[in-house]
Amino acid sequence: MPPWIDTHCHLDAAEFLPDVDAVRQRAAGAGVVHCVIPAVAPPNFTQVRELAHRHGDSYALGIHPLCTGGATEADLEALDTELTARRDDPRLVAVGEIGLDFFVPGLDAARQELFYREQLALARRHGLPVLLHVRRSADLLLKHLRRVPVTGIAHAFNGSAQQAGEFVRLGFRLGFGGAATYERALQIRRLAADLPLSALVLETDAPDIPPHWLYQTAEARAGGEAQGRNEPAQLPRIAAEIAGLRRMAPGELAAATTRNACEALPRLAALLAALGSDANGAGIIAAQ
């Protein structure tokens, strides 16, 4: 069974509250040896850190663009304080989830940009990569990244090939997950198939972005059918579809994307080495 890394998984989400330990155990049983758990606002900083330590995973700290409406200068100060307090924690691997979202209506674009800019500066100051939220915002995200030399992962990437190339040029890896399993997601599937292998990392964004086999239409949900909850245990099946798009073996994809994740999030290498990895995508053993 190839080993997998889920580079973006919200294990602290309310959907996982009743059974998070079982969720993580299922993922380990499926070969997911490591999950990166991003925060979305100061109130969940402690929760993501404790989950990462409990399950042998890692975490990121940041203020999500969807949370900027109620955020204040004090939240940026709290983030700075927590990054300072946890600077020696090897499981703190990034600043995130941060970024811009111009898809959800009613958000203040200027306020989002302010928090994004300030968090890039914090990432630079603390010497950490970033986990970026990219939703109809790639060009503006790139504009600021050209001014602040940080790298990391552009999570759930769904931009153009030109935008993808610019993120890669700036040193970013691009996250692909459940969206790539939909036959109608032509652009995402083309990118997953055609980008250099060195650009790809894998993720679930669980409990969100379910793969096609878990998705229920709005009509079905209105009729009482439940939306399937995405979990990190789905990653190997998602990865198998992406490997098929690239005409490569899943094990080869696992090795390459693990190597890419370690390059994007350098602290991961030591964590995986503790699990028996050579930090180059081979020989990882499950923590559980």
Known binding positions: 8, 10, 97, 133, 155, 205
Q: Vertex 139, ends 146 and 149: CA angle to 5°?
A: 20
Q: Is the peptide bond before 129 cis (omega within 30 degrees of 0)?
A: no
Between CA 6 and CA 235 the distance in angstroms is 7
Quote the DSSP letter at residue 74.
H
The helix/strand/coil state of 149 is: coil
Binding-site residues for a divalent metal cation:
8, 10, 97, 133, 155, 205
The answer to whether 187 touches 208, Cβ cutoff 8 Å, is no
**Edge-to-edge strand order for the sheet containing 152-155?**
4-6, 32-38, 58-61, 92-101, 130-135, 152-155, 173-176, 200-202
Between CA 234 and CA 230 the distance in angstroms is 7
Between CA 25 and CA 197 the distance in angstroms is 29
